Amino acid sequence: MTDRTDRRSTVLIVEDDAELSRMARDMVEECGLAAVECATGQAAHDHLTAHADDVLALFADIGLRDAIDGVALALTTAERYPWISICVTSGQSAMRPEVLPQKVRFISKPWRAAEVLAFVEGAS
């Protein structure tokens, strides 16, 4: 029987800017992990509902353009799936939202490759 943690090799990227999503995906794949891209919080929520056991980390923009923003997604993920490492990003604010659990990392945009790679490598 395979241990659940052995299967966790996916980083869920939630970003509505296609170019930024692609950049994050490329960085994740450089670390030897799989990346799943979602453009909305709802799509990410649906993916987690079906595949949370495979997800190692969540990398999400705060300012998503649907009912589930990055903060709500981070809060729900931290509560329901405590093994998932979480990082949220924002181009609107350089300040970490106070409502986020302490374990959630925050990176303001524009993020640097080194910041994203450090988060992904720390999650694996």
Question: Residue 102 sits in which domain range?
Answer: 4-123
Measured in whole angstroms, how far is the alpha carbon of residue 37 from the centre of its chain? 10
* CATH code of residue 108: 3.40.50.2300
pLDDT at 41 over 60: yes
Compute the radius of gyration of the chain from its Cα atoms. Answer: 13
37: left (phi over 0), alpha (psi -120 to 50) or beta: beta
Name the pTM for this structure: 0.90
Helix and strand counts by DSSP (H, E) for the chain: 5, 5
pLDDT in tens, 93-115: 778 888 999 999 999 999 998 99
Give the total number of structural domains in the chain. Answer: 1
Q: pLDDT tier at 7 (50, 70, 90 boundaries)?
A: low
